Structure 1
Amino acid sequence: MPEEDNRRRRGRVVAGVVAAGAALAITATALVWSRGVNASDETPDEKVSVSTVAIARTDLSTNRTFDGTLGYGTPRAVKAGREGVITWLPDGGLTVDRGEPLYQVNDEPVPLFLGAPPLYRRITGRNLTGRDVAMVAKNLQALGYEIGEQPGAGEQVPQPDPETPEKAEPSASPTPITRTAWVTVRDGEGVLTDALTAAITRWQRDQGLTDDGVLEVGDLAVLPGAVRVESVAVQVGDAATGDLMSVTQTAKVVTVQAPVGEADTLKPGDEVTLRMPDGTETPGEIGEISTVAQQPEGAAPGTPQQLSVTVTISDPKAAGKLDGGGVEVRVEGETRAGVLAVPVTALLALREGGYAVQLPDGRLLAVATGMFSGGMVEVSGDGVTEGLQVVTTS
């Protein structure tokens, strides 16, 4: 009895709406269709509208496209490092590189040094050791100053220890004798040698600063790299307190706000194709991906949160003279040409495992699934042919 066989087969089917997500995984959720597949043969309260669609031969691709914005990346604030009055500020758009003044306090320039950490203590005292000393040494060397030989990691250097003076014998000189402390240089640390102190003094003289070989907190602005002044927050004559300006990196980049689920599938170093504002295409690469998810500004409640993704432009000249504009970012994926495909809503998840499509006469046709893309799924198997009509939900 063909009709009875069809009813038995339909009774084994759990129809699921199969979603192709970012990981292209199939979720076979139990959902009984209303076309008489209920094993108890009862009429469901709600009926699902169904129709038929032809199996199509098409190209499927997992390429993804995001909307990006050309610019200089996320601005960061620059705060004053010492008290005083602002006597000079750069104009917006100015690029400031290593050794150049970023602003002036009390008519003294505050030059930009690159690296880390910022100055957090006075740089003075023979053989003072630390990462801040290494930062100063690297910058002076990059500016062309001779800093002499630096002790390597693991070496020990003597430092005066004023905390533990030895008292002289009564018969000796009344001048106290200062003990010497030996400090081991750790990886990444520099040492304030006599040669480095002399280099600081020469640099100060060239800058028109007090040439005493001592660096105070706030004498330098220390940032990861050269910067472009985005905007200034104070005026000449204001007190040097709080945020002075916002700066960005100097290279143009593309910034994308991507939904968390999609951003999680991106990795730094992934190659992309950028369609620039003038319509030309140029290669790029995924750079920094933020770790803080936020809702888009002005978005309605419930809008999916997004992560900020920075995309570097392989050829900086590709942006031309533009400082802003919309950019299409295409992430290349896998492409399968000329495959047979149906809408994912045509798939039936079989209770015993696997998938099938249903023909208009009620028969089930087992299929193997392949790539999912744009609401379509690749199918293959015996009897699966182009133009064959199958049932789908709508």
Structure 2
Amino acid sequence: MAESDTDGAAVTPRRRARRRTAAVAAVVVAAAAATGGAVIGWQSHGSPSTRTATDSARVATTAVVRTDLSDAQTLDGTLGYGPARTLKGTGDGTVTWLPATGATVTRGQQLYRVDDQPVALFYGATPLFRTLDTQGTVGTDVKVVADNLVKLGYDIGAQPAPGSWVTPPASGATPTPTPHPSGSTAPSSGPSATGSTTAAPVRVKIGDGILTAPLISAIKRWQTHVGMAPTGVVGPGDVVVLPGKVRISAVQAQPGDPAAEPLLSVTSTSRKVTVQVDPTEVGSIRSGDTVSVALPDTSTVRGTVTAVGRIVQGGTDNGSGAGTDPAQLTVTISLAETAAVRRLDSAPVRVTFAGSARKGVLAVPVGALLALREGGYAVQLPDGRLIAVKTGLFAKGMVEISGTGLGAGLKVVTTS
């Protein structure tokens, strides 16, 4: 019985072929995001044409199979302390002391010495970007100093609350926080009782600190305690602000070198594993996933994925004439601290990612998928007919498929 078109007219084999060809016209070759396998694409050029039974002998076919799929994978990794950060000094001074490689430096301790003065480590997110020498100065860098001195046990007095207006004094008096209705204009500056002009008031924001007289006194006490001149002034060359305690991974300078040069490199104090993963294989890896890490002594330790990189490294000509470096993303894993891990500073390891699993599903090689111009995927039978499919798990070059008319043993066209 002849097939009918929507207008009731019979569809000839040539017309049916033309309609099928149009359905896949302008389809581009796509890559399966989770596996990197090629996906067949067809494009119509000129007159429509169809694949005949004779043509089918010249194409590769494969059978739909019912199988178990798992995207679990075991990859090479490196145990260490994570990426290193190089620290550079400031100013015109001379380096007079440097720590030993492997040393741990915590809050308030000296990282190095310049002109025989200690440069201490403070914790925070905002580096000191100016000299804090004027009472009434407001900013996030002031808060870094205030917070660290509090953590080190120094009394810094009360800090004005966010929303207060602080008027920096002209004569060195303690700045007075002035409550002011939210959304109103700031108090205007003008002549003081003595006839001098005061500075414009500054509103304290969340995250700001204020350089008050009690805070300056605390700075002087801290400077005396660590062996610095008790000036009450703190500048970028006096402290280094980092997120937390650090381990000295390398020392690039030596005593007598200028301070404004790369001095040393630091890392986290926690051992981590980094794994370079092909971007097409990272889809099943998520932050928080539990992994198994095999150490060189064949013991294993549990780890947790803490970061999946978003910047692809490589994939370009490496300049050696040997082709391109492979494109990779970095996956970072934290480890449960065990005796076996604590004995190692650096080592090659093997990381097993559990991934996902599907039992008893229909699957074909990724190369059997045909990306359609209107969206979605299909598989093609040797006689040219298309069967729309829904894709599921991609794993090791195979893809889970489902759809009407599919079954184990069904022959479909593939790229390989």
- TM-score bracket for this pair, using the shorter chain length: 0.7 to 0.9
Instruction: Name the residue aligned to 1:133.
Output: 142
Of residues 215, 227, 241, the one that matches 2:260 is 241
Superposition map of 1:1-394 within 5 A:
20-22=32-34, 27=39, 29-30=41-42, 39=50, 48=58, 50=60, 55-161=64-170, 177=196, 179=198, 181-262=200-281, 269-278=287-296, 279=298, 280-287=300-307, 289=309, 291=311, 293-295=313-315, 300-313=322-335, 315-317=336-338, 319-345=341-367, 355=378, 358=381, 368-371=389-392, 372-379=394-401, 386=408, 394=416
Q: Which runs of 5+ in 1 are unaligned?
A: 2-6, 169-174
Matched to 2:83, the amino acid is T
Q: Is the 8 A contact 1:63 1:332 kept in 2?
A: yes
Q: Secondary structure at the match of 1:29?
A: coil
User: Is 1:81–1:219's contact at 8 Å kept on the other side of the alignment?
Assistant: no
Q: In 1, distance between residues paired with 2:400 and 2:117? A: 69
Deviations for 1:312-359, whole angstroms, at most 9, x for unmatched residues?
33x233733212223344444431112233334456789999745648
CA distance in 1, matches of 2:344, 2:90: 34
Give the secondary structure class of the aligned counterpart of 2:201. Answer: strand
Q: As a proportion of its length, which structure holds more strand?
A: 1
Shift of 1:102: 0.3
Unaligned segments of structure 2, at least 5 residues: 2-12, 172-188
Instruction: Provide TM-score, normalisation by structure 1.
Output: 0.77
| Corresponding letter in the other structure for 1:21 | A
What is the rounded CA distance, in whole Å, between the counterparts of 1:342 and 1:379 in structure 2? 7
CA distance in 2, matches of 1:261, 1:158: 57
Q: 1:167 to 1:141 in 2, by over 3 A?
A: closer
Q: Write the letter of the residue equivalent to 1:316.
A: E
Q: Is the 1:365–1:383 contact (alpha carbons within 8 Å) kept by the matching residues of 2?
A: no
* 8 A contact 2:40–2:414 mirrored in 1: no
Give the C-alpha shift of residue 42 in structure 1.
11
Aligned-partner Cα distance in 1 for 2:351–2:284: 15
2:377 & 2:85 partners in 1: Cα distance? 53
Q: Which amino acid in 2 is paired with 1:82?
A: G
Query: For residues 273-326 of structure 1, what are the alpha-carbon distances to aligned partners after superposition, in whole Å with 9 as ceiling and x for unaligned?
Result: 13232441413123262546444868743444333333333x233733212223
CA RMSD of aligned residues (A): 4.3
The change in CA–CA distance for 1:203 and 1:301 in structure 2 (over 3 A counts) is same
SS for the counterpart of 1:134 is: helix
d(CA) in 1 for partners of 2:273, 2:255: 33
Task: State the number of aligned residues.
Answer: 373
**Which residue in 1 is equivalent to 2:4?**
none
TM-score (norm 2): 0.73
Give the match for residue 177 of structure 2: none
3-state secondary structure, aligned to 1:135: helix
Q: Return the alpha-carbon distance in structure 2 between the equivalents of residues 338 and 42 of structure 1.
A: 32
Deviations 1:126-161 (A, max 9, x none): 222211111001001111111111111111223124
TM-aligned CA deviation for residue 28 of structure 1: 5.0
Note closer, same or farther for the CA distance 1:159–1:393 as it changes in structure 2 (3 Å cut). Answer: closer
Task: Quote the Cα distance in structure 2 between the aligned partners of 1:189 and 1:22.
Answer: 45
Deviations 1:241-286 (A, max 9, x none): 211111111111122333445557765x341413232441413123
Pair 78,295 (structure 1): closer, same or farther in 2 beyond 3 Å: farther
Partner-residue secondary structure (3-state), 1:316: coil
Deviation at 1:98, TM superposition (A): 0.5
- Deviation of residue 177 (structure 1)? 3.8
SS at match of 2:86: strand
1: CA distance, partners of 2:165 / 2:220: 25
